[in-house]
């Protein structure tokens, strides 16, 4: 069965950094595009970042450009999200997701509805 296990959440002050990891099993990770989404209390789930299956193409939400970096290591079946210069507005539950694709290795997805599998969610709380 497919599992996406997230780690790396926490509570910290504004300006700090965190790195999330999402380890996948039960699927061929190298043919899956991956992404990160987040959901704050009382708000809809929003796109954060996405990366193509080869790691050759990335896209970021405007709210995190220049601060967050998505990457992946296909030898470890893991996708990462490095978060720097964190703001109180970044407080949310963060989810990783995967989407199998036979399109070009640079193809990626920014809509949550396109993804097949989701991690359990990890809380990030940023104080001012």
Query: Which run of H or E residues covers position 8?
Result: none
Residue 29 pLDDT: 93
Beta strands in 8-67 (DSSP E): 10-13, 18-25, 32-39, 46-51, 58-60
User: pLDDT tens digits, residue range 87-112?
Assistant: 999 999 999 999 999 887 789 999 99
Distance CA 58, CA 71 (A): 8
Phi, psi of 88 (to 5 degrees): -55, -30
What is the pLDDT averaged over residues 3-27? 96
Q: Where are the alpha helices (DSSP H) in 5-116?
A: none
Residue 28 tokens, joined: 């061929």
User: pLDDT tens digits, residue range 34-84?
Assistant: 999 999 999 999 999 999 999 999 999 999 999 999 999 999 999 999 999
Residue 104 pLDDT: 76
């Amino acid at each position: 069965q497919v599992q996406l296990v997230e780690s790396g959440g926490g509570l910290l002050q504004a300006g700090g950094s965190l790195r999330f990891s999402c380890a996948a099993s039960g699927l061929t990770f190298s043919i899956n595009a991956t992404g990160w989404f987040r959901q704050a209390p009382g708000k809809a789930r929003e796109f954060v970042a996405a990366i193509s299956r080869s790691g050759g193409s990335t896209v970021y939400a405007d709210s995190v450009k220049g601060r967050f970096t998505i990457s992946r290591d296909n030898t470890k079946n893991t996708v990462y999200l490095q978060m720097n210069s964190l703001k109180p507005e970044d407080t949310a539950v963060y989810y990783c997701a995967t989407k199998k694709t036979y399109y070009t290795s640079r193809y990626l997805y920014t809509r949550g509805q396109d993804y097949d599998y989701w991690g359990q969610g990890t809380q990030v709380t940023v104080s001012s």
